[in-house]
Amino acid sequence: MEAMIKIMGMGFVMHKTSYLRDGWNCLDFFVVMISLADVIPGSESISTLKVLRALRILRPLRSINKIKGMKKLINAMIKSVPGLLNVALFLIFILSIFAIFGVHQFQGKHYSRCRTTEMPLLNPLFEKNGGD
């Protein structure tokens, strides 16, 4: 309904402020066409297009252009990504150091701690069933 009302009010393509001249409206039109293809009877083969209906979640992003405070927040988040990547790399480095230290420290010292024999015992039920 929203797309139809906008098309009637703004025009479809010809006018410079028409419906399909805006990128967000093109996305809306694409989602509406996919939804209509799903409603058509006998369109079971088109049911794979339901995944593309997930693009509806992009519609609230239109508010970024309207609300200046939101635009500042989004820009700040985008600018903070390189710093977050540096923190993630540093964290991976530190965790790798602790992993290497742990492997070096224990070096298989606990290998025979969970059994009383030198070699592990096999479960007799496991052998009967052919190892399944």
**Domain residue ranges of the chain, discontinuous segments joined by +:** 1-63, 67-132
- How much is the pLDDT for 28? 78
Q: What secondary structure does DSSP assign to 88-112, as a single string?
A: HHHHHHHHHHHHHHHHHHHTTTTTT
pLDDT band at 110 (very low <50, low <70, confident <90, very high): low
| CA dist 27 → 9, 48, 110 (Å) | 18, 18, 59
* 21-36: pLDDT as tens digits: 777 778 778 877 777 7
| pTM confidence score | 0.41
Instruction: Look up residue 120 and give its DSSP letter.
Output: P
